[in-house]
Amino acid sequence: QGVCLRSCTAMCGGGNLSSLSREPSGVGHCRVSARSVVRPRLLPRRRLLSAHRESGQVQTIFNDIADDYDLFNDALSLGLHRSWKRAAVQWTRAKKGQRALDACTGTGDIAALLATAVGAEGHVVGLDFAPEILDVARRRAAPRAGTTAAQVEWVQGDAMALPFDDASFDAVTCGYGLRNVVDREKALAEFARVLRPGARLAVLDFNHAADASAANATQTWALENVVVPVARSRGFEDEYAYLLPSIQSYPRGAELERMAVTSGFTGDVRYYELAFGLMGCLVAER
Protein backbone atom coordinates (compact mmCIF):
# COMPACT_ATOMS: atom_id res chain seq x y z
CA GLN A 1 0.00 0.00 0.00
CA GLY A 2 3.01 2.29 -0.29
CA VAL A 3 1.59 3.63 -3.56
CA CYS A 4 -0.95 5.53 -1.45
CA LEU A 5 1.59 8.09 -0.20
CA ARG A 6 1.56 10.60 -3.04
CA SER A 7 -2.22 10.56 -3.39
CA CYS A 8 -2.79 11.03 0.33
CA THR A 9 -0.24 13.86 0.50
CA ALA A 10 -1.93 15.63 -2.39
CA MET A 11 -5.35 15.15 -0.85
CA CYS A 12 -4.22 16.45 2.51
CA GLY A 13 -2.40 19.48 1.13
CA GLY A 14 0.88 18.50 2.76
CA GLY A 15 -0.78 17.90 6.10
CA ASN A 16 -3.30 20.81 6.02
CA LEU A 17 -6.76 19.29 5.96
CA SER A 18 -8.76 22.46 6.56
CA SER A 19 -10.03 22.56 2.99
CA LEU A 20 -11.67 19.16 3.38
CA SER A 21 -14.44 20.60 5.53
CA ARG A 22 -15.49 22.64 2.52
CA GLU A 23 -14.72 21.01 -0.84
CA PRO A 24 -11.77 18.62 -1.08
CA SER A 25 -9.62 19.14 -4.16
CA GLY A 26 -7.92 16.46 -6.20
CA VAL A 27 -10.27 13.76 -4.95
CA GLY A 28 -12.56 11.90 -7.31
CA HIS A 29 -16.18 12.03 -6.27
CA CYS A 30 -19.77 11.75 -7.38
CA ARG A 31 -22.61 13.81 -6.00
CA VAL A 32 -26.16 12.78 -5.23
CA SER A 33 -28.84 15.07 -3.83
CA ALA A 34 -31.86 13.63 -2.07
CA ARG A 35 -33.96 16.24 -3.81
CA SER A 36 -33.09 14.79 -7.23
CA VAL A 37 -33.27 11.11 -6.31
CA VAL A 38 -36.61 9.65 -5.26
CA ARG A 39 -36.04 6.25 -3.70
CA PRO A 40 -34.05 4.86 -6.65
CA ARG A 41 -33.81 1.13 -7.19
CA LEU A 42 -30.54 -0.12 -5.79
CA LEU A 43 -28.09 -1.71 -8.18
CA PRO A 44 -28.10 -5.52 -8.18
CA ARG A 45 -25.79 -6.79 -5.47
CA ARG A 46 -24.28 -10.24 -5.21
CA ARG A 47 -24.93 -11.67 -1.78
CA LEU A 48 -21.44 -12.88 -0.96
CA LEU A 49 -22.42 -13.50 2.62
CA SER A 50 -19.69 -15.89 3.66
CA ALA A 51 -19.04 -16.82 7.27
CA HIS A 52 -17.25 -13.57 8.11
CA ARG A 53 -20.47 -11.58 7.62
CA GLU A 54 -22.30 -13.32 10.46
CA SER A 55 -22.36 -10.94 13.42
CA GLY A 56 -21.07 -13.39 15.98
CA GLN A 57 -18.15 -14.46 13.82
CA VAL A 58 -17.18 -10.89 12.97
CA GLN A 59 -17.23 -10.13 16.68
CA THR A 60 -14.95 -13.12 17.35
CA ILE A 61 -12.50 -11.98 14.65
CA PHE A 62 -12.09 -8.51 16.15
CA ASN A 63 -11.89 -9.82 19.68
CA ASP A 64 -9.04 -12.12 18.59
CA ILE A 65 -6.98 -9.41 16.87
CA ALA A 66 -7.67 -6.59 19.37
CA ASP A 67 -4.14 -6.29 20.75
CA ASP A 68 -2.49 -6.37 17.30
CA TYR A 69 -5.05 -4.24 15.46
CA ASP A 70 -3.12 -0.94 15.49
CA LEU A 71 0.20 -2.63 14.71
CA PHE A 72 -1.26 -4.18 11.58
CA ASN A 73 -2.95 -0.93 10.48
CA ASP A 74 0.30 1.02 10.82
CA ALA A 75 2.43 -1.59 9.10
CA LEU A 76 0.07 -2.28 6.24
CA SER A 77 -0.77 1.37 5.43
CA LEU A 78 2.64 2.88 6.29
CA GLY A 79 0.75 4.91 8.90
CA LEU A 80 -1.39 6.60 6.23
CA HIS A 81 -4.65 5.36 7.75
CA ARG A 82 -4.24 8.18 10.30
CA SER A 83 -4.41 10.82 7.55
CA TRP A 84 -7.51 9.24 6.05
CA LYS A 85 -9.17 9.18 9.47
CA ARG A 86 -8.36 12.86 10.04
CA ALA A 87 -9.93 13.62 6.67
CA ALA A 88 -13.11 11.74 7.63
CA VAL A 89 -13.43 13.70 10.87
CA GLN A 90 -12.99 17.02 9.08
CA TRP A 91 -15.64 16.05 6.56
CA THR A 92 -18.16 15.80 9.42
CA ARG A 93 -17.50 19.46 10.35
CA ALA A 94 -17.62 18.55 14.06
CA LYS A 95 -17.20 21.70 16.17
CA LYS A 96 -16.37 22.65 19.74
CA GLY A 97 -19.09 21.79 22.23
CA GLN A 98 -20.90 19.33 19.97
CA ARG A 99 -21.83 15.66 20.44
CA ALA A 100 -20.24 13.10 18.14
CA LEU A 101 -20.52 9.34 17.66
CA ASP A 102 -17.87 7.02 16.27
CA ALA A 103 -19.61 3.77 15.33
CA CYS A 104 -17.55 0.58 14.94
CA THR A 105 -14.87 2.49 16.83
CA GLY A 106 -12.31 -0.33 17.07
CA THR A 107 -9.37 0.89 19.14
CA GLY A 108 -10.73 4.43 19.18
CA ASP A 109 -8.49 6.30 16.72
CA ILE A 110 -11.35 8.24 15.12
CA ALA A 111 -13.10 8.74 18.46
CA ALA A 112 -9.92 10.41 19.75
CA LEU A 113 -9.84 12.72 16.73
CA LEU A 114 -13.49 13.61 17.29
CA ALA A 115 -12.71 14.30 20.97
CA THR A 116 -10.12 16.86 19.91
CA ALA A 117 -12.54 18.39 17.38
CA VAL A 118 -15.37 18.92 19.89
CA GLY A 119 -13.08 19.93 22.78
CA ALA A 120 -13.49 19.47 26.51
CA GLU A 121 -16.96 21.04 26.42
CA GLY A 122 -18.16 18.48 23.86
CA HIS A 123 -19.04 14.81 24.17
CA VAL A 124 -17.94 11.77 22.15
CA VAL A 125 -19.27 8.21 22.19
CA GLY A 126 -17.19 5.35 20.81
CA LEU A 127 -19.38 2.33 20.05
CA ASP A 128 -18.30 -1.18 19.08
CA PHE A 129 -19.78 -4.65 19.51
CA ALA A 130 -16.45 -6.39 20.22
CA PRO A 131 -15.74 -6.04 23.98
CA GLU A 132 -12.03 -6.91 23.80
CA ILE A 133 -11.28 -4.22 21.25
CA LEU A 134 -13.23 -1.72 23.36
CA ASP A 135 -10.97 -2.61 26.29
CA VAL A 136 -7.98 -1.67 24.12
CA ALA A 137 -9.69 1.63 23.25
CA ARG A 138 -10.26 2.40 26.93
CA ARG A 139 -6.63 1.67 27.83
CA ARG A 140 -5.35 3.85 25.02
CA ALA A 141 -7.66 6.71 26.00
CA ALA A 142 -6.59 6.74 29.66
CA PRO A 143 -3.40 8.82 29.10
CA ARG A 144 -5.51 11.55 27.48
CA ALA A 145 -7.49 12.16 30.66
CA GLY A 146 -7.29 15.78 31.77
CA THR A 147 -6.44 17.16 28.31
CA THR A 148 -8.44 19.76 26.41
CA ALA A 149 -10.12 17.00 24.37
CA ALA A 150 -13.49 15.56 25.32
CA GLN A 151 -13.49 12.40 27.38
CA VAL A 152 -14.85 9.51 25.32
CA GLU A 153 -17.71 7.36 26.56
CA TRP A 154 -17.15 3.77 25.44
CA VAL A 155 -20.30 1.78 24.69
CA GLN A 156 -20.67 -1.82 23.58
CA GLY A 157 -23.50 -1.89 21.09
CA ASP A 158 -24.81 -2.73 17.64
CA ALA A 159 -24.60 -0.28 14.72
CA MET A 160 -27.91 -1.68 13.44
CA ALA A 161 -29.71 -0.82 16.70
CA LEU A 162 -28.02 2.22 18.22
CA PRO A 163 -28.94 2.77 21.89
CA PHE A 164 -29.35 6.54 21.45
CA ASP A 165 -32.22 9.00 21.05
CA ASP A 166 -33.26 10.46 17.72
CA ALA A 167 -31.34 13.56 16.60
CA SER A 168 -28.88 13.31 19.49
CA PHE A 169 -25.55 13.79 17.62
CA ASP A 170 -23.96 16.55 15.57
CA ALA A 171 -21.56 14.23 13.76
CA VAL A 172 -21.22 10.49 13.12
CA THR A 173 -18.22 8.58 11.79
CA CYS A 174 -17.72 4.94 10.90
CA GLY A 175 -14.22 3.83 9.96
CA TYR A 176 -13.69 0.41 8.38
CA GLY A 177 -16.88 -0.87 9.99
CA LEU A 178 -19.87 -0.59 7.64
CA ARG A 179 -18.30 -3.22 5.36
CA ASN A 180 -18.59 -5.75 8.22
CA VAL A 181 -22.18 -4.94 9.18
CA VAL A 182 -24.71 -7.61 8.17
CA ASP A 183 -27.43 -5.11 7.17
CA ARG A 184 -25.68 -1.98 5.92
CA GLU A 185 -28.86 -0.15 4.97
CA LYS A 186 -30.21 -0.64 8.47
CA ALA A 187 -27.00 0.78 9.93
CA LEU A 188 -27.15 3.79 7.59
CA ALA A 189 -30.77 4.38 8.64
CA GLU A 190 -29.67 4.27 12.28
CA PHE A 191 -26.89 6.79 11.59
CA ALA A 192 -29.46 9.08 9.96
CA ARG A 193 -31.87 8.64 12.86
CA VAL A 194 -29.42 9.74 15.55
CA LEU A 195 -28.05 12.70 13.56
CA ARG A 196 -29.53 16.17 13.91
CA PRO A 197 -30.85 17.84 10.73
CA GLY A 198 -27.97 19.33 8.74
CA ALA A 199 -25.36 17.15 10.51
CA ARG A 200 -22.97 14.89 8.63
CA LEU A 201 -21.94 11.25 8.47
CA ALA A 202 -18.51 10.15 7.20
CA VAL A 203 -17.97 6.46 6.39
CA LEU A 204 -14.34 5.55 5.62
CA ASP A 205 -13.46 2.13 4.22
CA PHE A 206 -11.72 0.20 1.47
CA ASN A 207 -13.00 1.22 -1.94
CA HIS A 208 -14.67 -1.47 -4.03
CA ALA A 209 -12.91 -0.50 -7.23
CA ALA A 210 -14.00 -1.47 -10.75
CA ASP A 211 -12.94 -5.01 -11.60
CA ALA A 212 -10.54 -4.04 -14.39
CA SER A 213 -9.06 -0.99 -12.65
CA ALA A 214 -5.49 -0.50 -11.48
CA ALA A 215 -6.84 0.15 -7.98
CA ASN A 216 -8.53 -3.23 -7.91
CA ALA A 217 -5.39 -5.01 -9.13
CA THR A 218 -3.19 -3.19 -6.61
CA GLN A 219 -5.62 -3.83 -3.76
CA THR A 220 -5.92 -7.54 -4.57
CA TRP A 221 -2.14 -7.93 -4.87
CA ALA A 222 -1.51 -6.11 -1.58
CA LEU A 223 -4.06 -8.17 0.33
CA GLU A 224 -2.89 -11.50 -1.06
CA ASN A 225 0.86 -10.81 -0.99
CA VAL A 226 1.31 -8.45 1.96
CA VAL A 227 -1.64 -8.42 4.36
CA VAL A 228 -2.36 -12.14 4.64
CA PRO A 229 1.33 -13.21 4.74
CA VAL A 230 2.06 -10.66 7.48
CA ALA A 231 -1.01 -11.83 9.39
CA ARG A 232 0.11 -15.43 8.91
CA SER A 233 3.46 -14.62 10.50
CA ARG A 234 1.62 -13.39 13.58
CA GLY A 235 -0.80 -16.31 13.68
CA PHE A 236 -3.82 -14.41 12.35
CA GLU A 237 -4.10 -15.69 8.77
CA ASP A 238 -7.73 -16.76 9.11
CA GLU A 239 -8.73 -13.45 10.68
CA TYR A 240 -7.28 -11.37 7.83
CA ALA A 241 -8.19 -13.74 4.97
CA TYR A 242 -11.73 -12.34 5.17
CA LEU A 243 -10.63 -8.88 3.93
CA LEU A 244 -10.73 -9.49 0.18
CA PRO A 245 -14.17 -11.17 0.07
CA SER A 246 -15.53 -8.48 2.38
CA ILE A 247 -14.32 -5.76 -0.01
CA GLN A 248 -15.73 -7.62 -3.02
CA SER A 249 -19.15 -7.75 -1.37
CA TYR A 250 -19.04 -4.07 -0.33
CA PRO A 251 -21.15 -1.69 -2.47
CA ARG A 252 -19.36 0.61 -4.88
CA GLY A 253 -19.48 4.38 -4.42
CA ALA A 254 -22.57 5.12 -6.50
CA GLU A 255 -24.57 2.43 -4.71
CA LEU A 256 -23.44 3.66 -1.29
CA GLU A 257 -24.67 7.13 -2.24
CA ARG A 258 -28.08 5.77 -3.23
CA MET A 259 -28.26 3.68 -0.07
CA ALA A 260 -27.60 6.79 2.02
CA VAL A 261 -30.36 8.73 0.28
CA THR A 262 -32.92 5.96 0.74
CA SER A 263 -31.83 5.58 4.38
CA GLY A 264 -32.85 9.12 5.31
CA PHE A 265 -30.02 11.48 4.33
CA THR A 266 -31.85 14.44 2.79
CA GLY A 267 -28.90 16.75 2.10
CA ASP A 268 -25.93 16.33 -0.20
CA VAL A 269 -24.46 12.85 -0.43
CA ARG A 270 -21.02 12.29 -1.99
CA TYR A 271 -18.57 9.44 -2.26
CA TYR A 272 -14.86 10.30 -2.49
CA GLU A 273 -12.20 7.93 -3.77
CA LEU A 274 -8.89 8.27 -1.92
CA ALA A 275 -5.35 7.00 -2.50
CA PHE A 276 -5.68 6.14 -6.19
CA GLY A 277 -9.02 4.46 -5.52
CA LEU A 278 -7.78 2.08 -2.84
CA MET A 279 -9.89 3.75 -0.14
CA GLY A 280 -13.18 5.64 -0.17
CA CYS A 281 -15.26 7.90 2.05
CA LEU A 282 -19.03 8.35 1.92
CA VAL A 283 -20.04 11.80 3.21
CA ALA A 284 -23.78 12.23 3.77
CA GLU A 285 -25.74 15.18 5.18
CA ARG A 286 -28.86 14.60 7.24
**pLDDT, tens digit (0-9, with 9 covering 90-100), for 143-160:** 766 578 888 999 999 999
d(CA 219, CA 231): 16
Alpha-carbon torsion (26, 86, 228, 271), positive or negative? negative
- 112 φ, ψ to 5°? -65, -40
| 3-state SS, one letter per residue, for 163-190 | CCCCCCEEEEEEECCHHHCCCHHHHHHH
Mean pLDDT of 175-191: 95
Query: Around 25, how many Cα atoms within 13 Å sit in the side-chain half-sphere?
Result: 7
pLDDT at 229: 78
Averaged confidence pLDDT in the chain = 77
CA distances for 7 relative to 3, 12, 45, 79, 277, angstroms: 8, 9, 29, 14, 9
Task: Among 130-144, 145-159, 186-200, 224-238, name the one with the lowest average pLDDT.
Answer: 224-238
**pLDDT, tens digit (0-9, with 9 covering 90-100), for 115-126:** 999 999 999 999
pTM, two decimals, is 0.75
**pLDDT, tens digit (0-9, with 9 covering 90-100), for 241-281:** 777 788 889 999 999 999 999 999 999 999 999 878 888 99
